[in-house]
Amino acid sequence: MKLLSVRCNHCGAPLEIPKSARYVTCGFCDAQLAVHRSGNAYSTELLEEIKQTTDGLVRDVAQLKKSTEIEQLDREWELRQSELHIHGKNGRVSVPSKTGALFGSGFAVAFGVFWMIMAGGITFAGVGMGAPAVIGIFPLFGLVFILVAIFGGISQYQKADEYERARTRYQQHRRKLLQANAEQE
C-alpha cells in the first residue's frame, strides 16, 4: 500500500496516510482532517472548520429561504388585495368597508322609498287628472332601487368581510414567519 506524506492542517505534524484515505485523525494533536486531492497535490483541512463553514452556509440559506417566503407572501397579498379592492370611476381604488356597504345601501334604499313616494304621488295626481294608467309603473322603479340597494349592500358587505378575513390571515402568517426568523437568529 502506497502512503502519502502530508502535513496536519492543525499542528503541522507530518502524516503518512494511505492514498485512498478521505479522512484522517492526526496522531499528534487528535485533529480530525479531510484529505483533499487536486491533481497530484494533496492537502488536509480541519473537519471542524468545514463543519463551521457548512453550518454558517446552512444558517444563511435558511435565512434567505425565510426572507423569500416573506417576500412571496407579500406579493401574494398585494395580488389578493387588488382583487378585493373596490375600483371606482376615474381609476379610484378603495378598501371595502362594512360601514360603507351599510351606509351606501341604506342611502339607496332611502332614495328608493323617496322615489316611490314622490312618483306615487305624482302618478296618483296624474291619473286623477286623466293621464293614462301606464304612468303607474314609475313608482315601481323605486322598488327596483330598493332591491338593487339591498343586493348590492349584501355583496359589498360580504366583500368587505372577505377582505378583513384575508388581511387577518396574511398578517398572522407574516407574523409567524417573522417570529420564526427571529428565533433562528
Q: What is the CATH number of the domain that holds 37?
A: 2.20.28
User: Is residue 77 included in any domain, yes or no?
Assistant: no
**Half-sphere exposure of residue 90: CA atoms within 13 angstroms, side-chain side:** 0
Write down the pLDDT at residue 101: 92
Residue 126 contacts by C-beta under 8 Å, 6 or more apart in sequence?
Answer: 135
User: Is residue 76 included in any domain, yes or no?
Assistant: no
Whether 43 and 94 share a structural domain = no
Q: How confident is the model at residue 185 (pLDDT cuts 50, 70, 90)?
A: low
Q: Taking 90 as the threshold, does the pLDDT of residue 133 lie above it?
A: no
Whether 17 and 89 share a structural domain = no
Whether 172 and 91 share a structural domain = yes
The pLDDT mean for the chain works out to 85
**CA-closest candidate to residue 27, choices 14, 39, 36:** 14
Q: Taking 60 as the threshold, does the pLDDT of residue 1 lie above it?
A: no
Whether 17 and 91 share a structural domain = no
Do residues 70 and 174 touch, judged by C-beta distance below 8 A?
Answer: yes
C-alpha cell at 36: 483533499
Whether 42 and 106 share a structural domain = no
For 25, the domain range is 3-52
Percent of the chain with pLDDT over 70: 95
Whether 43 and 118 share a structural domain = no
**CA-closest candidate to residue 10, choices 49, 38, 66, 41:** 49
C-alpha cell at 24: 484522517
Q: Which residue has the cell 485512498?
A: 20
**d(C-alpha 85, C-alpha 171), whole Å:** 17
User: Is residue 73 included in any domain, yes or no?
Assistant: no
User: Is residue 66 included in any domain, yes or no?
Assistant: no
Average pLDDT over residues 100-117: 94
Crossing angle for the helix pair 138-184 and 98-128, to the nearest 10 degrees: 180
pLDDT per position as a tens digit, 46-74: 667 777 777 778 877 877 787 788 899 99
Which amino acid is present at 115?
A: W
C-alpha cell at 8: 496536519
User: Is residue 80 included in any domain, yes or no?
Assistant: no
